[in-house]
Protein backbone atom coordinates (compact mmCIF):
# COMPACT_ATOMS: atom_id res chain seq x y z
CA UNK A 1 0.00 0.00 0.00
CA UNK A 2 1.48 3.42 -0.91
CA UNK A 3 2.14 5.75 1.99
CA UNK A 4 -0.35 8.26 0.60
CA UNK A 5 -3.14 5.65 0.83
CA UNK A 6 -2.88 5.03 4.57
CA UNK A 7 -6.27 4.52 6.26
CA UNK A 8 -7.73 7.42 8.22
CA UNK A 9 -7.84 5.56 11.53
CA UNK A 10 -9.10 6.94 14.81
CA UNK A 11 -6.62 7.55 17.59
CA UNK A 12 -5.63 4.47 19.59
CA UNK A 13 -6.70 4.42 23.21
CA UNK A 14 -4.31 4.50 26.14
CA UNK A 15 -6.97 3.56 28.66
CA UNK A 16 -5.84 -0.06 28.83
CA UNK A 17 -2.31 0.93 29.84
CA UNK A 18 -1.05 -0.40 33.16
CA UNK A 19 -0.34 2.30 35.70
CA UNK A 20 3.35 2.87 36.42
CA UNK A 21 4.46 0.49 39.16
CA UNK A 22 6.83 2.24 41.62
CA UNK A 23 9.30 -0.62 42.10
CA UNK A 24 12.66 0.61 40.91
CA UNK A 25 14.70 -2.34 42.17
CA UNK A 26 12.62 -4.95 40.34
CA UNK A 27 12.42 -2.92 37.13
CA UNK A 28 16.11 -2.02 37.22
CA UNK A 29 17.06 -5.67 37.59
CA UNK A 30 14.92 -6.53 34.58
CA UNK A 31 16.06 -3.65 32.37
CA UNK A 32 19.76 -4.06 33.18
CA UNK A 33 19.60 -7.45 31.42
CA UNK A 34 17.83 -6.02 28.34
CA UNK A 35 20.51 -5.98 25.63
CA UNK A 36 18.19 -4.34 23.11
CA UNK A 37 17.69 -1.45 25.53
CA UNK A 38 21.43 -1.13 26.07
CA UNK A 39 22.05 -1.00 22.34
CA UNK A 40 19.43 1.71 21.90
CA UNK A 41 20.75 3.79 24.81
CA UNK A 42 24.39 3.42 23.76
CA UNK A 43 23.47 4.59 20.28
CA UNK A 44 21.57 7.68 21.42
CA UNK A 45 22.20 8.83 24.97
CA UNK A 46 25.99 8.77 24.87
CA UNK A 47 26.00 10.62 21.54
CA UNK A 48 23.67 13.30 22.89
CA UNK A 49 25.83 13.75 25.97
CA UNK A 50 28.94 14.08 23.82
CA UNK A 51 27.17 16.59 21.56
CA UNK A 52 26.11 18.62 24.60
CA UNK A 53 29.66 18.84 25.90
CA UNK A 54 31.00 19.71 22.46
CA UNK A 55 28.44 22.45 21.82
CA UNK A 56 28.83 24.02 25.26
CA UNK A 57 32.62 23.98 24.88
CA UNK A 58 32.19 26.08 21.74
CA UNK A 59 30.10 28.63 23.65
CA UNK A 60 32.51 31.18 25.16
CA UNK A 61 30.24 32.17 28.03
CA UNK A 62 28.69 28.77 28.80
CA UNK A 63 29.45 28.75 32.54
CA UNK A 64 28.34 32.35 32.94
CA UNK A 65 25.12 31.56 31.06
CA UNK A 66 24.43 28.54 33.28
CA UNK A 67 24.91 30.68 36.37
CA UNK A 68 22.72 33.44 34.96
CA UNK A 69 19.97 30.99 33.96
CA UNK A 70 19.97 29.48 37.45
CA UNK A 71 19.81 32.93 39.03
CA UNK A 72 16.92 34.01 36.80
CA UNK A 73 14.94 30.90 37.74
CA UNK A 74 15.78 31.35 41.42
CA UNK A 75 14.68 34.99 41.32
CA UNK A 76 11.44 34.03 39.57
CA UNK A 77 10.64 31.36 42.15
CA UNK A 78 11.32 33.85 44.95
CA UNK A 79 8.70 36.17 43.41
CA UNK A 80 6.49 33.59 41.72
CA UNK A 81 3.19 35.10 42.83
CA UNK A 82 4.10 38.45 41.25
CA UNK A 83 5.20 36.97 37.93
CA UNK A 84 2.17 34.68 37.64
CA UNK A 85 -0.13 37.67 38.19
CA UNK A 86 1.82 39.65 35.59
CA UNK A 87 1.61 36.75 33.15
CA UNK A 88 -2.16 36.48 33.64
CA UNK A 89 -2.61 40.23 33.18
CA UNK A 90 -0.71 40.29 29.89
CA UNK A 91 -2.30 37.13 28.47
CA UNK A 92 -5.72 38.67 29.11
CA UNK A 93 -4.58 41.95 27.56
CA UNK A 94 -3.82 40.12 24.31
CA UNK A 95 -7.18 38.36 24.13
CA UNK A 96 -6.24 35.06 25.75
CA UNK A 97 -7.76 33.35 28.76
CA UNK A 98 -5.92 32.06 31.83
CA UNK A 99 -7.04 29.22 34.08
CA UNK A 100 -5.35 28.11 37.31
CA UNK A 101 -5.59 24.44 38.33
CA UNK A 102 -4.75 23.20 41.81
CA UNK A 103 -4.10 19.65 40.64
CA UNK A 104 -4.16 17.39 37.60
CA UNK A 105 -7.85 16.58 38.03
CA UNK A 106 -8.80 20.25 37.82
CA UNK A 107 -6.51 20.75 34.83
CA UNK A 108 -8.08 17.81 33.00
CA UNK A 109 -11.57 19.08 33.81
CA UNK A 110 -10.66 22.50 32.41
CA UNK A 111 -9.47 21.03 29.10
CA UNK A 112 -12.61 18.91 28.80
CA UNK A 113 -14.85 21.90 29.62
CA UNK A 114 -13.13 24.03 26.95
CA UNK A 115 -13.49 21.23 24.40
CA UNK A 116 -17.19 20.81 25.10
CA UNK A 117 -17.93 24.53 25.10
CA UNK A 118 -16.18 24.98 21.74
CA UNK A 119 -17.69 21.77 20.32
CA UNK A 120 -14.22 20.31 19.75
CA UNK A 121 -14.30 16.60 18.96
CA UNK A 122 -10.89 15.95 17.42
CA UNK A 123 -7.85 17.15 19.38
CA UNK A 124 -4.26 17.17 18.16
CA UNK A 125 -1.53 17.40 20.75
CA UNK A 126 2.15 18.28 20.63
CA UNK A 127 4.71 16.90 23.06
CA UNK A 128 4.07 17.93 26.65
CA UNK A 129 5.51 16.34 29.79
CA UNK A 130 3.01 18.13 32.01
CA UNK A 131 0.13 16.55 30.05
CA UNK A 132 1.74 13.15 30.68
CA UNK A 133 1.91 14.06 34.36
CA UNK A 134 -1.83 14.81 34.23
CA UNK A 135 -2.62 11.63 32.26
CA UNK A 136 -4.55 13.98 30.00
CA UNK A 137 -5.06 11.54 27.14
CA UNK A 138 -6.86 9.07 29.37
CA UNK A 139 -9.11 11.82 30.73
CA UNK A 140 -9.99 13.07 27.24
CA UNK A 141 -10.73 9.61 25.92
CA UNK A 142 -12.87 8.85 28.96
CA UNK A 143 -14.86 11.98 28.03
CA UNK A 144 -15.43 10.57 24.50
CA UNK A 145 -12.97 13.01 22.91
CA UNK A 146 -10.50 11.84 20.28
CA UNK A 147 -6.92 12.95 20.94
CA UNK A 148 -3.93 12.29 18.71
CA UNK A 149 -0.28 12.71 19.66
CA UNK A 150 1.52 14.46 16.82
CA UNK A 151 5.13 14.36 18.02
CA UNK A 152 6.58 11.38 16.12
CA UNK A 153 7.92 9.69 19.23
CA UNK A 154 4.75 10.25 21.22
CA UNK A 155 2.64 9.07 18.28
CA UNK A 156 4.63 5.83 18.14
CA UNK A 157 4.02 5.33 21.86
CA UNK A 158 0.32 6.06 21.50
CA UNK A 159 0.02 3.48 18.72
CA UNK A 160 2.07 0.99 20.76
CA UNK A 161 0.23 1.73 24.04
CA UNK A 162 3.54 2.70 25.61
CA UNK A 163 5.04 5.36 27.84
CA UNK A 164 7.96 7.74 27.21
CA UNK A 165 11.31 6.77 28.68
CA UNK A 166 13.11 10.11 28.28
CA UNK A 167 12.16 13.75 28.77
CA UNK A 168 12.95 14.81 25.20
CA UNK A 169 13.44 11.50 23.32
CA UNK A 170 10.35 9.51 24.28
CA UNK A 171 11.09 6.40 22.16
CA UNK A 172 14.80 6.21 22.85
CA UNK A 173 14.27 2.67 24.15
CA UNK A 174 12.93 1.43 20.79
CA UNK A 175 14.84 0.40 17.67
CA UNK A 176 13.69 0.98 14.08
CA UNK A 177 12.74 -2.69 13.77
CA UNK A 178 10.35 -2.44 16.73
CA UNK A 179 8.79 0.74 15.37
CA UNK A 180 8.38 -0.91 11.97
CA UNK A 181 6.50 -3.80 13.57
CA UNK A 182 4.22 -1.36 15.41
CA UNK A 183 3.39 0.59 12.23
CA UNK A 184 2.91 -2.56 10.14
CA UNK A 185 0.32 -3.82 12.63
CA UNK A 186 -1.42 -0.46 13.04
CA UNK A 187 -1.54 0.70 9.42
CA UNK A 188 -1.91 -2.82 7.96
CA UNK A 189 1.06 -2.33 5.63
CA UNK A 190 4.10 -4.49 4.81
CA UNK A 191 6.89 -4.33 7.37
CA UNK A 192 9.73 -1.87 6.89
CA UNK A 193 12.38 -0.62 9.27
CA UNK A 194 13.55 2.19 7.00
CA UNK A 195 13.41 5.36 9.17
CA UNK A 196 12.50 7.81 6.35
CA UNK A 197 9.64 5.55 5.23
CA UNK A 198 8.35 5.18 8.79
CA UNK A 199 8.50 8.95 9.30
CA UNK A 200 6.64 9.50 6.02
CA UNK A 201 3.85 7.14 7.15
CA UNK A 202 3.35 9.18 10.30
CA UNK A 203 3.62 12.49 8.44
CA UNK A 204 0.92 11.62 5.88
CA UNK A 205 -1.42 10.26 8.54
CA UNK A 206 -0.96 13.24 10.87
CA UNK A 207 -1.23 15.84 8.10
CA UNK A 208 -4.78 14.69 7.42
CA UNK A 209 -5.69 14.88 11.10
CA UNK A 210 -4.29 18.42 11.45
CA UNK A 211 -6.70 19.55 8.75
CA UNK A 212 -9.68 18.08 10.62
CA UNK A 213 -8.72 19.06 14.18
CA UNK A 214 -10.88 21.38 16.26
CA UNK A 215 -8.45 21.91 19.13
CA UNK A 216 -4.67 21.89 19.53
CA UNK A 217 -2.97 21.23 22.86
CA UNK A 218 0.64 22.12 23.57
CA UNK A 219 3.01 22.32 26.46
CA UNK A 220 5.02 25.42 27.32
CA UNK A 221 8.80 25.61 27.51
CA UNK A 222 8.80 29.17 28.82
CA UNK A 223 6.04 31.67 29.63
CA UNK A 224 7.14 35.31 29.45
CA UNK A 225 5.37 37.34 32.13
CA UNK A 226 6.31 40.71 30.63
CA UNK A 227 4.48 40.08 27.34
CA UNK A 228 1.99 37.32 28.13
CA UNK A 229 3.67 35.11 25.53
CA UNK A 230 4.43 31.39 25.57
CA UNK A 231 7.52 29.90 23.93
CA UNK A 232 7.35 26.39 22.48
CA UNK A 233 10.54 24.71 21.23
CA UNK A 234 10.31 21.67 18.94
CA UNK A 235 12.32 19.86 16.29
CA UNK A 236 9.24 18.83 14.33
CA UNK A 237 6.66 20.98 12.58
CA UNK A 238 3.86 19.42 14.59
CA UNK A 239 4.15 22.01 17.36
CA UNK A 240 3.45 24.85 14.96
CA UNK A 241 0.61 22.91 13.31
CA UNK A 242 -1.05 22.21 16.67
CA UNK A 243 -0.94 25.85 17.67
CA UNK A 244 -1.96 27.47 14.38
CA UNK A 245 -4.31 25.17 12.42
CA UNK A 246 -7.09 24.34 14.94
CA UNK A 247 -9.50 27.09 15.94
CA UNK A 248 -8.76 26.55 19.66
CA UNK A 249 -5.30 26.40 21.24
CA UNK A 250 -4.86 25.22 24.83
CA UNK A 251 -1.36 25.59 26.30
CA UNK A 252 -0.66 23.78 29.58
CA UNK A 253 2.22 24.57 31.91
CA UNK A 254 3.46 23.90 35.40
CA UNK A 255 3.51 27.15 37.31
CA UNK A 256 7.33 27.11 37.48
CA UNK A 257 7.67 27.65 33.71
CA UNK A 258 7.27 31.42 33.91
CA UNK A 259 10.26 33.73 33.38
CA UNK A 260 10.22 37.51 33.94
CA UNK A 261 10.98 39.14 30.59
CA UNK A 262 11.60 38.62 26.88
CA UNK A 263 15.24 39.63 27.44
CA UNK A 264 15.64 36.54 29.64
CA UNK A 265 14.47 34.14 26.94
CA UNK A 266 17.70 34.07 24.85
CA UNK A 267 19.65 32.92 27.92
CA UNK A 268 17.51 29.79 28.12
CA UNK A 269 17.28 29.23 24.37
CA UNK A 270 21.08 29.18 24.13
CA UNK A 271 21.21 26.49 26.80
CA UNK A 272 18.10 24.41 26.14
CA UNK A 273 18.88 22.98 22.70
CA UNK A 274 22.59 22.57 23.45
CA UNK A 275 21.82 20.69 26.65
CA UNK A 276 18.97 18.60 25.26
CA UNK A 277 20.19 17.55 21.82
CA UNK A 278 23.51 19.21 21.08
CA UNK A 279 21.98 21.80 18.75
CA UNK A 280 22.52 25.54 18.68
CA UNK A 281 18.73 26.01 18.52
CA UNK A 282 15.70 23.80 18.05
CA UNK A 283 14.34 23.62 14.49
CA UNK A 284 11.17 25.47 15.50
CA UNK A 285 11.11 28.14 18.21
CA UNK A 286 7.58 29.53 18.46
CA UNK A 287 6.60 32.59 20.49
CA UNK A 288 2.82 32.85 20.73
CA UNK A 289 0.98 35.84 22.17
CA UNK A 290 -2.77 35.29 22.38
CA UNK A 291 -5.19 34.29 19.58
CA UNK A 292 -5.04 35.67 16.05
CA UNK A 293 -5.89 39.35 15.62
CA UNK A 294 -8.57 40.75 13.30
CA UNK A 295 -7.32 40.54 9.74
CA UNK A 296 -4.79 37.78 10.45
CA UNK A 297 -5.19 34.52 8.53
CA UNK A 298 -3.20 32.17 10.75
CA UNK A 299 -3.66 31.24 14.36
CA UNK A 300 -6.45 30.07 16.66
CA UNK A 301 -9.65 31.94 17.36
CA UNK A 302 -9.26 31.17 21.07
CA UNK A 303 -6.14 30.88 23.21
CA UNK A 304 -6.27 29.32 26.67
CA UNK A 305 -3.37 29.04 29.12
CA UNK A 306 -3.76 26.51 31.94
CA UNK A 307 -1.31 26.99 34.83
CA UNK A 308 -1.12 23.89 37.01
CA UNK A 309 0.14 23.56 40.58
CA UNK A 310 -0.18 19.82 41.33
CA UNK A 311 2.13 19.93 44.36
CA UNK A 312 4.52 22.59 43.10
CA UNK A 313 3.56 25.20 45.70
CA UNK A 314 4.29 22.64 48.41
CA UNK A 315 7.72 21.97 46.89
CA UNK A 316 8.30 25.72 46.58
CA UNK A 317 7.83 26.11 50.33
CA UNK A 318 10.44 23.47 51.21
CA UNK A 319 14.17 22.84 50.90
CA UNK A 320 13.75 21.12 47.51
CA UNK A 321 12.50 24.28 45.78
CA UNK A 322 15.53 24.30 43.46
CA UNK A 323 14.05 21.31 41.62
CA UNK A 324 11.48 23.75 40.20
CA UNK A 325 14.29 25.44 38.26
CA UNK A 326 14.40 22.40 35.94
CA UNK A 327 13.79 23.25 32.25
CA UNK A 328 13.20 19.58 31.26
CA UNK A 329 16.17 19.37 28.88
CA UNK A 330 17.09 15.78 29.78
CA UNK A 331 20.83 16.52 30.03
CA UNK A 332 21.05 14.89 33.45
CA UNK A 333 19.56 11.68 32.03
CA UNK A 334 22.09 11.53 29.22
CA UNK A 335 24.99 12.01 31.66
CA UNK A 336 23.75 9.59 34.35
CA UNK A 337 25.44 6.15 34.53
CA UNK A 338 22.36 4.69 36.24
CA UNK A 339 19.97 5.87 33.52
CA UNK A 340 22.35 4.58 30.84
CA UNK A 341 22.19 1.15 32.45
CA UNK A 342 18.47 0.77 33.20
CA UNK A 343 16.68 3.29 30.94
CA UNK A 344 13.68 5.40 31.84
CA UNK A 345 10.90 2.90 32.50
CA UNK A 346 12.73 1.47 35.52
CA UNK A 347 11.93 4.65 37.44
CA UNK A 348 8.21 3.88 37.35
CA UNK A 349 7.38 7.49 36.57
CA UNK A 350 6.83 9.95 33.74
CA UNK A 351 9.92 11.74 35.05
CA UNK A 352 12.96 9.42 34.92
CA UNK A 353 16.66 9.92 35.53
CA UNK A 354 18.34 11.99 38.25
CA UNK A 355 15.78 14.80 38.23
CA UNK A 356 12.99 12.22 38.23
CA UNK A 357 14.54 10.51 41.25
CA UNK A 358 13.94 13.81 43.05
CA UNK A 359 10.65 15.15 41.76
CA UNK A 360 8.76 11.84 41.55
CA UNK A 361 8.93 11.29 45.35
CA UNK A 362 8.11 14.98 45.85
CA UNK A 363 5.02 14.73 43.64
CA UNK A 364 3.84 11.24 44.54
CA UNK A 365 5.24 10.48 47.99
CA UNK A 366 8.59 9.32 49.34
CA UNK A 367 7.21 6.14 50.87
CA UNK A 368 5.79 5.01 47.52
CA UNK A 369 9.06 5.70 45.70
CA UNK A 370 11.54 4.89 48.46
CA UNK A 371 14.15 3.40 46.11
CA UNK A 372 14.49 6.43 43.82
CA UNK A 373 16.71 8.58 46.09
CA UNK A 374 19.16 5.66 45.99
CA UNK A 375 19.08 5.38 42.19
CA UNK A 376 22.27 7.41 41.98
CA UNK A 377 25.99 6.87 42.38
CA UNK A 378 26.29 10.51 43.54
CA UNK A 379 29.04 10.94 40.95
CA UNK A 380 27.91 14.51 40.18
CA UNK A 381 27.61 14.06 36.41
CA UNK A 382 24.02 15.33 36.54
CA UNK A 383 25.07 18.49 38.38
CA UNK A 384 27.82 19.16 35.84
CA UNK A 385 25.35 18.69 32.96
CA UNK A 386 22.44 20.72 34.34
CA UNK A 387 22.08 24.02 32.44
CA UNK A 388 20.63 25.78 35.50
CA UNK A 389 23.02 24.15 38.00
CA UNK A 390 20.56 22.19 40.13
CA UNK A 391 22.63 20.35 42.75
CA UNK A 392 20.84 17.03 42.34
CA UNK A 393 23.35 14.87 44.29
CA UNK A 394 23.11 17.12 47.35
CA UNK A 395 19.30 16.96 47.35
CA UNK A 396 19.31 13.18 46.88
CA UNK A 397 21.38 12.94 50.06
CA UNK A 398 18.88 15.20 51.85
CA UNK A 399 16.05 12.99 50.64
CA UNK A 400 17.82 9.89 51.97
CA UNK A 401 18.08 11.72 55.30
CA UNK A 402 14.33 12.39 55.17
CA UNK A 403 13.72 8.69 54.62
CA UNK A 404 15.60 7.81 57.79
CA UNK A 405 13.79 10.50 59.79
CA UNK A 406 10.44 9.27 58.51
CA UNK A 407 11.27 5.65 59.31
CA UNK A 408 10.98 4.66 55.65
CA UNK A 409 14.44 3.03 55.50
CA UNK A 410 14.40 -0.77 55.78
CA UNK A 411 15.28 -2.51 59.03
CA UNK A 412 18.45 -3.90 57.45
CA UNK A 413 19.56 -0.41 56.35
CA UNK A 414 18.90 1.02 59.80
CA UNK A 415 20.82 -1.83 61.44
CA UNK A 416 23.83 -1.55 59.11
CA UNK A 417 24.15 2.23 59.32
CA UNK A 418 23.44 2.24 63.04
CA UNK A 419 26.29 -0.22 63.55
CA UNK A 420 28.52 1.84 61.26
CA UNK A 421 27.74 5.03 63.21
CA UNK A 422 28.44 3.33 66.53
CA UNK A 423 31.75 2.02 65.21
CA UNK A 424 32.89 5.44 64.03
CA UNK A 425 32.08 6.97 67.40
CA UNK A 426 34.34 4.55 69.31
CA UNK A 427 38.02 4.49 68.45
CA UNK A 428 38.68 0.97 69.68
CA UNK A 429 35.78 -0.51 67.69
CA UNK A 430 36.85 1.36 64.56
CA UNK A 431 40.42 -0.01 64.88
CA UNK A 432 39.13 -3.51 65.58
CA UNK A 433 36.89 -3.34 62.51
CA UNK A 434 39.80 -2.23 60.36
CA UNK A 435 41.99 -5.10 61.52
CA UNK A 436 39.22 -7.66 61.07
CA UNK A 437 38.40 -6.37 57.58
CA UNK A 438 42.04 -6.44 56.51
CA UNK A 439 42.63 -9.94 57.84
CA UNK A 440 39.48 -11.22 56.13
CA UNK A 441 40.09 -9.50 52.80
CA UNK A 442 43.73 -10.56 52.58
CA UNK A 443 42.68 -14.21 52.85
CA UNK A 444 40.47 -14.00 49.76
CA UNK A 445 41.92 -15.30 46.46
CA UNK A 446 43.59 -12.45 44.56
CA UNK A 447 45.66 -11.96 41.44
CA UNK A 448 48.14 -9.10 41.35
CA UNK A 449 46.44 -7.67 44.45
CA UNK A 450 43.00 -7.59 42.78
CA UNK A 451 40.11 -9.68 44.13
CA UNK A 452 37.88 -11.02 41.37
CA UNK A 453 35.03 -12.30 43.56
CA UNK A 454 33.72 -11.01 46.87
CA UNK A 455 31.38 -13.09 49.06
CA UNK A 456 27.82 -12.32 50.11
CA UNK A 457 26.03 -9.10 49.10
CA UNK A 458 29.34 -7.61 47.92
CA UNK A 459 29.42 -10.15 45.09
CA UNK A 460 27.45 -7.73 42.92
CA UNK A 461 30.43 -5.36 42.87
CA UNK A 462 32.79 -7.97 41.45
CA UNK A 463 30.43 -9.21 38.75
CA UNK A 464 31.67 -6.48 36.44
CA UNK A 465 34.84 -5.18 38.16
CA UNK A 466 37.66 -6.32 40.45
CA UNK A 467 38.14 -5.10 44.00
CA UNK A 468 41.55 -3.87 45.22
CA UNK A 469 43.10 -6.04 47.88
CA UNK A 470 43.79 -4.00 51.05
CA UNK A 471 47.48 -3.38 51.85
CA UNK A 472 49.17 -5.38 54.56
CA UNK A 473 49.46 -2.31 56.76
CA UNK A 474 47.22 0.72 57.05
CA UNK A 475 48.24 4.38 57.03
CA UNK A 476 48.33 4.62 60.82
CA UNK A 477 50.86 1.81 61.02
CA UNK A 478 53.02 3.28 58.26
CA UNK A 479 52.90 6.74 59.81
CA UNK A 480 53.89 5.41 63.21
CA UNK A 481 56.72 3.48 61.58
CA UNK A 482 57.86 6.61 59.76
CA UNK A 483 57.87 8.62 62.98
CA UNK A 484 59.86 5.89 64.75
CA UNK A 485 62.49 6.01 62.00
CA UNK A 486 62.75 9.80 62.33
CA UNK A 487 63.24 9.45 66.09
CA UNK A 488 65.89 6.80 65.51
CA UNK A 489 67.65 9.10 63.04
CA UNK A 490 67.81 11.86 65.61
CA UNK A 491 69.27 9.46 68.17
CA UNK A 492 71.83 8.13 65.70
CA UNK A 493 70.28 4.65 65.69
CA UNK A 494 69.16 4.47 62.07
CA UNK A 495 69.29 6.05 58.68
CA UNK A 496 66.29 8.02 57.39
CA UNK A 497 64.92 6.38 54.29
CA UNK A 498 65.65 2.78 55.29
CA UNK A 499 62.60 0.60 55.80
CA UNK A 500 62.60 -2.60 57.86
CA UNK A 501 61.63 -5.65 55.89
CA UNK A 502 58.41 -7.40 56.93
CA UNK A 503 58.31 -11.13 56.60
pLDDT score, position 12:
52
Structural domain includes residue 311: yes
- Same domain flag for 453 and 307: no
pLDDT score, position 126:
96
CATH number at residue 81: 3.40.50.10420
Structural domain includes residue 403: no
- Same domain flag for 297 and 437: no
Pairing between β-strand 258-259 and β-strand 222-224 as defined by DSSP bridges: parallel
- Same domain flag for 309 and 447: no
Q: What is the pLDDT of residues 359-384, one digit of tens each?
A: 999 999 999 999 999 999 999 999 99
Residue 262's nearest CA partner among 291, 227, 286 is 227
Three-state DSSP state, 431: helix
Q: What is the pLDDT of residues 276-308, one digit of tens each?
A: 999 999 999 999 999 999 988 889 999 999 999
Q: What is the pLDDT of residues 419-474, one digit of tens each?
A: 888 888 888 888 888 888 888 888 888 888 898 888 887 788 788 888 888 888 88
- Same domain flag for 307 and 424: no
Is the pLDDT at 486 greater than 90, yes or no? Answer: no
The mean pLDDT value for 78-101 works out to 98
- Same domain flag for 445 and 305: no
The mean pLDDT value for 470-488 works out to 86
The mean pLDDT value for 407-428 works out to 82
Structural domain includes residue 350: no
Count of domains observed in the chain: 2
pLDDT score, position 456:
81
pLDDT score, position 84:
98
Structural domain includes residue 484: yes
pLDDT score, position 14:
40
The mean pLDDT value for 139-151 works out to 96
The mean pLDDT value for 92-99 works out to 98
> Where does a domain end: 281, 315, 349?
315
Q: Would residue 341 be called left, alpha or beta, if left means φ above 0 and alpha means ψ between -120 and 50 degrees?
A: alpha
Structural domain includes residue 150: yes
- Same domain flag for 73 and 213: yes
Structural domain includes residue 365: no
> Where does a domain end: 269, 295, 315?
315
b/e sequence 269-299, b meaning 16+ C-beta within 10 Å: bbbbbbbbbbeeebeebbebbbbbeeeeeeb
Q: In which element (H, E) is residue 305 found?
A: strand 302-308
Structural domain includes residue 397: no
| Percentage of residues in the chain having pLDDT higher than 70 | 93
Q: In which element (H, E) is residue 288 found?
A: strand 284-288
The beta strands (E) that lie in 111-161 are given as: 122-125, 146-149
Question: What confidence category does residue 220 fall into, taking pLDDT thresholds of 50, 70 and 90?
Answer: very high
- Same domain flag for 310 and 446: no
Per DSSP, helices labelled H in 365-410 are 381-385, 392-405
Structural domain includes residue 294: yes
pLDDT score, position 193:
95
d(CA 353, CA 337): 10
> Where does a domain end: 292, 315, 338?
315
Domain that holds residue 86: 3-315
The mean pLDDT value for 4-12 works out to 53
Amino acid sequence: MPVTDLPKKTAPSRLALPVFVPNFMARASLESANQSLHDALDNSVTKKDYSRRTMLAELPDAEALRTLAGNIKRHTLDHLDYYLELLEKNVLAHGGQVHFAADSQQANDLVIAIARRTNSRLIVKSKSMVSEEMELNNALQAAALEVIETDLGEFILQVDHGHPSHLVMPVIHMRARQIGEVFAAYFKVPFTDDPPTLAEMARVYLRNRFNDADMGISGVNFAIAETGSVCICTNEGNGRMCTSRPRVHVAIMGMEKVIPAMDDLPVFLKLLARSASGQTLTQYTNIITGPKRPGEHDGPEEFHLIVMDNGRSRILAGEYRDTLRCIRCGACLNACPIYRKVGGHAYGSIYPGPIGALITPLFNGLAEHKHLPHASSLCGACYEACPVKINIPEMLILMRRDQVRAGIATRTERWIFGLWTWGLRHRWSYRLGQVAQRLFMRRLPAKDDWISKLPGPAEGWTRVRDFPRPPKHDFRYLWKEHQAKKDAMRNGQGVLGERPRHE
